[in-house]
Amino acid sequence: MGIPLRQYYRLLARYLSPQKRMVSLLGILIVANLMLQLARPQLLRIFVDTATGTRSDYALGVTALAFVIVALLGSALEACSEYVSETVGWTAANKLRGDLAAHCLALDMSFHKAHTPGELIERLDGDVTKLSRFFSQLVIGVFANALLLVGVVIVLFREDYRVGIGLGVFTLSAVGVLTYLRGIAVPYWAATRQLSGKFYGFLAEHLAGTEDIRANGARGYVMFRFFEQLRAWLPAMRKAYVADVSLWGATILTFALGNAIAFGLSAYLWAEGLVTIGAIFMIIQYTELLRWPIEQIRNQMQELQRAGASIARVVSLLEKRSRVVDGHVSALPSGPLSVELRGTSFSYEPDEDPVLQDITLRLEPGKVLGLLGRTGSGKTTLARLLLRLYDPTDGSVEIGGVSTRDTTLAALRSKVAFVTQDVQLFQATIRDNLTLFDPGVTDNQALAVLSELGLGAWLDSQPLGLDTVLAPGGAGMSAGEAQLLALARCFLMDPGLVVLDEASSRLDPATEHLLERAVTRLLANRTGVIIAHRLETVERADDILILEHGHVIEHGSRVDLLHQPDSRFNALLQTGLKELLV
């Protein structure tokens, strides 16, 4: 059974040490509860011995009352420790969730491309939720239950060493046997879970494809597969349940054996005249008391093992390091920024073909570069390098004369604005969508920018103005409006370089006109790199760069290229523009 104790310890130390007081309180509550549990059979013994001996009504009444008080106190302690343990568990788990979320957000894009959102949700929530029990109950639980078992055996020892030895040996073997038996049922359940996963996957896929299945007459085949899966599922399920029931039977048998030992020993001691009838009641009660912690320990050991798998995944996530790390330059020059690429190559994965190869270009401050190329030629990738979403594999990217590797990410991204092909809007107020949750931007600034971009009328039509909450994913907004909002974001940032990855979708003429105006204002006194999909946008470029399969196939000033009759740019404008600029 693999239980990585060192990792457990490190995680516990890190997340429980800020809650030392609560954890100590939990420990005290649990130990107090243990004491009460140990006391109950003693009271029973006194009661029975009094009833069979002096029969003093007063003593019987007091013992009965004490029994009730102990029971009530036990419940109260139980409730308190539940409260404290949930608090401890959730506080620790939330802290871990926060750490993981912050860590993932700080990781670079290649990490996020390699991990699906579903996978990250499973790590941040699924695994951590499993760990909240680990923090609050498992370790303390196993410890407390073991303590209770030891306590019972010690008390029995004090009564008579034979009883102590008999039930002590029983306890140890019961824990061992039941844990072992539990392990037998586990693979059967794993098999049923796998089959059910497969079955639901099959259902989802085929329900989604109903139209194609009907159209192609594949119904018979699908039904056949359906029954095939059900047929495999039934025997697996049966085995798992039979294993479970056998386990249950074995548990009952084990405890019956425990009772038999207790009865046998008691009978012997009674016959020898070594114990009172009350002591026998007490011994039987203690034997019953063993049952709960033994079963608990068995379950908790299994849970600990499962928590181990979660911990391993969480720790490996926490140990992932971002490939993109901050440099030392914490501020870029103000005003328009130059852009310079020197022999820059890039591939998304080390062993893949390069997406960009040996790109060299220089863009003077305040100039606009029009980036052209077929789909998949690497335009968006180049834009990502300017933002340092990735580092180049070879060569360098310099913005404002500073290599992107040397600046802090915060400095770079506060001076370089990026409008992506599909703008991401959040389910938040228009204000937050504009400022990207930066409270430093005043309402007046936001309103001024919106009206400057021609979005004033649109804002007026929103029921709560800047406080209107946008629908998730920007539903209900046109692509053009979303792009305009994204441009407004850039305005508020006041960057020195604007990177614009134009949406390839077609816009209506009115919105297009607004966008044109907005881009003109945004580019005034700023450097621009525009991935152009429309002729108007191409026309505002000072320089043109045409990419093909990651290579620069043409680069020069737009006017020069226009005047060269055999330039690729001219050819594009003449023939290929429609094909290219979609």
Q: Interface with Mg ion by CB under 5 A: which residues?
A: 380
Quick one: 144 or 371, whose CB is closer to ligand ATP?
371
**Under rule CB under 6 A, which residues in 74-113 are in contact with ligand ATP?**
113
Written in H, E and C, the secondary structure of 471-490 is: CHHHCCCCHHHHHHHHHHHH
| Residue 303: partners with Cβ closer than 8 Å, 6 or more residues away | 133, 134, 138
Quick one: 421 or 445, whose CB is closer to ligand ATP?
421
Quick one: 258 or 373, whose CB is closer to Mg ion?
373
Rounded Cα–Cα distance for residues 520 and 513 (Å): 11
Quick one: 188 or 346, whose CB is closer to ligand ATP?
346
Give least dist CB 502 to ligand ATP, A: 9
Report the length, in residues, of the chain. Answer: 582
Determine, following the binding rule CB under 6 A, whether residue 576 of this chain makes contact with ligand ATP: no
Contact 226, 274 (CB under 8 A): no
Quick one: 334 or 504, whose CB is closer to ligand ATP?
504
**Which of ligand ATP, Mg ion, none binds 375 (CB below 5-8 Å, type-dependent)?**
ligand ATP
Give least dist CB 324 to ligand ATP, A: 14
Q: Show the tokens assigned to 69.
A: 């008080």
Rounded Cα–Cα distance for residues 134 and 98 (Å): 17
Give least dist CB 383 to ligand ATP, A: 8
Calculate Rg over the CA atoms of the chain.
36
Binds ligand ATP by CB under 6 A, chosen from 140, 355, 363, 387:
355
Residue with tokens 């936001």: 446
- The 10 Å CB-count burial string (b at 16+, else e) for 202-241 is eeeebeeeeeeeeeeeeeeeeeeeeeebeeebeebbebbe
**Which of ligand ATP, Mg ion, none binds 113 (CB below 5-8 Å, type-dependent)?**
ligand ATP
Provide the sign of the torsion angle of the four alpha carbons 242, 246, 252, 256, taken in this order: positive
Give least dist CB 352 to ligand ATP, A: 7
**Which of ligand ATP, Mg ion, none binds 355 (CB below 5-8 Å, type-dependent)?**
ligand ATP
**Under rule CB under 6 A, which residues in 403-442 are in contact with ligand ATP?**
421
Determine, following the binding rule CB under 6 A, whether residue 376 of this chain makes contact with ligand ATP: yes
Quick one: 132 or 381, whose CB is closer to Mg ion?
381
Give least dist CB 382 to ligand ATP, A: 7
Strand pairing class (527-531; 368-373): parallel
CA angle centred on 477, ends 472 and 480, rounded to 5°: 130
DSSP letters, 261-298, are HHHHHHHHHHHTT-S-HHHHHHHHHHHHHHHHHHHHHH
| Residue 155: partners with Cβ closer than 8 Å, 6 or more residues away | 38, 41, 42, 286
Contact 275, 155 (CB under 8 A): no
Contact 100, 123 (CB under 8 A): yes
Q: In this chain, which stretch among 210-218, 299-307, 373-381, 557-565 interacts with ligand ATP, using CB under 6 A?
A: 373-381
Q: Show the tokens assigned to 308.
A: 């181990």
Quick one: 324 or 547, whose CB is closer to Mg ion?
547
Quick one: 355 or 416, whose CB is closer to ligand ATP?
355
**Which of Mg ion, ligand ATP, none binds 377 (CB below 5-8 Å, type-dependent)?**
ligand ATP
The size of the interface with ligand ATP (CB under 6 A), counted in residues, is 12
Q: How many CB atoms lie within 10 A of CB 190?
A: 12
Quick one: 89 or 373, whose CB is closer to ligand ATP?
373
Quick one: 259 or 380, whose CB is closer to Mg ion?
380
Give least dist CB 569 to ligand ATP, A: 17
Inter-CA distances, 36 with 26, 67, 167, 192, Å: 15, 10, 20, 42
Quick one: 202 or 348, whose CB is closer to ligand ATP?
348
**Which of Mg ion, ligand ATP, none binds 348 (CB below 5-8 Å, type-dependent)?**
ligand ATP
Q: In this chain, which stretch among 266-274, 358-366, 379-387, 424-432 interacts with ligand ATP, using CB under 6 A?
A: 379-387
Binds ligand ATP by CB under 6 A, chosen from 258, 278, 373, 392:
373
Inter-CA distances, 104 with 79, 112, 141, 318, Å: 37, 8, 32, 8
Give least dist CB 107 to ligand ATP, A: 14
Q: Show the tokens assigned to 285.
A: 């009660």
Rounded Cα–Cα distance for residues 545 and 548 (Å): 10
Determine, following the binding rule CB under 6 A, whether residue 370 of this chain makes contact with ligand ATP: no
Give least dist CB 378 to ligand ATP, A: 4
Determine, following the binding rule CB under 6 A, whether residue 348 of this chain makes contact with ligand ATP: yes
Quick one: 166 or 378, whose CB is closer to Mg ion?
378
Determine, following the binding rule CB under 6 A, whether residue 187 of this chain makes contact with ligand ATP: no
Binds ligand ATP by CB under 6 A, chosen from 63, 310, 381, 527:
381
Binds ligand ATP by CB under 6 A, chosen from 182, 298, 379, 415:
379
Quick one: 7 or 421, whose CB is closer to ligand ATP?
421
H/E element, 369: strand 368-373
**What are the strands of the beta sheet with 356-363, ordered from one edge?**
356-363, 339-346, 394-399, 402-403
Binds ligand ATP by CB under 6 A, chosen from 74, 278, 378, 495:
378
Q: How many CB atoms lie within 10 A of CB 437?
A: 12
Give least dist CB 555 to ligand ATP, A: 16
Give least dist CB 377 to Mg ion, A: 9
Q: Show the tokens assigned to 520.
A: 């003109």
Contact 494, 449 (CB under 8 A): no
Question: Which residues contact ligand ATP (rule: CB under 6 A)?
Answer: 113, 348, 355, 373, 375-381, 421
